[in-house]
Amino acid sequence: MPRIEIAPSLLAADFARLAEEVAAVEAAGADWLHLDVMDGRFVPNISFGPLVLRALRPHTRLPFDVHLMIEPVDPFLAEFAAAGADRILIHPESGPHLHRSLQAIRALGKQAGVVLNPATPVEAVAWVLDLVDTVLMMTVNPGFGGQAFLSLQLPKIAAVRAMIAASGRPIRLAVDGGIAPGTAGPAAAAGADTFIAGSAVFGTRDYAHAIAGLRAEATDPARAGLPPAGGKPD
């Protein structure tokens, strides 16, 4: 299995102290900073845009994992790349030609990811895997932090893990939404290797403890006393 990576989602941070919050999760052992960009159209919420990325970029060495929940997405890819994105994640529903959008992200010199909503079939990513560095599985409906993990997505995570294995490419498999103690383990057992967590990091007092806890549970779900993915409780 690839190395476990933890990406705190800035959406749950204190927006009046963003630079401090980013420095704090970097010091606490985060691997990536996840930035949720929402337009009030693709999802029913508005967050922030490239100006915030640009403002934060000098304040951290963490790579920026930029989750674009906007439509249309194509006109803004270059702007997010220039603002400091290292990986740009897009939804198949946010433009007419997913393959072309991924080519555009690659042409900008950035890693590219595809995000699958809970109801989006895994086949949506099957024929573009050669352009993809990350598949991100939404384990809530996109738009808000603090929602409950949808455990019906666990078999879907396993299906994408099998698809990635068959591709032979080193594609990361991320989960986003409701990732916390008790859900990181089952997601890891199903095949996830990258864990995006907003409330479960920024909603706690000790970010280092929260990140270490998620990493430990994801690294060894059995030792955390969790049931295997898809397993039924006795």
Rounded alpha-carbon distances, angstroms, from residue 223 to 149, 157, 226, 227? 21, 21, 7, 10
Three-state secondary-structure class, residue 6:
strand
Distance of CA 40 to the CA centre of its chain: 19
Catalytic, 65? Answer: no
Rounded alpha-carbon distances, angstroms, from residue 170 to 2, 61, 117, 131, 203? 8, 23, 22, 11, 32
Catalytic residue among 65, 133, 176, 193: 176
Name the minimum Å distance from CB 95 to ligand DX5.
18
Report if residue 194 touches ligand DX5, rule: CB under 6 A. no
Contact indicator for 223, 200 with CB cutoff of 8 Å? no
Which residue's CB comes closest to ligand DX5? 198
Mask for 10-29, x = binds ligand DX5 (CB under 6 A): -xx-----------------
For the segment 215-234, give every residue that binds ligand DX5 (CB under 6 A): none
Contact indicator for 69, 49 with CB cutoff of 8 Å? no
Catalytic, 133? Answer: no
Catalytic residue among 36, 65, 133, 193: 36
Name the minimum Å distance from CB 197 to ligand DX5.
5
List, by residue number, the catalytic residues: 36, 176
Positions touching ligand DX5 (CB under 6 A) are: 9, 11-12, 34, 36, 67, 140, 142-143, 145-147, 176-179, 196-200
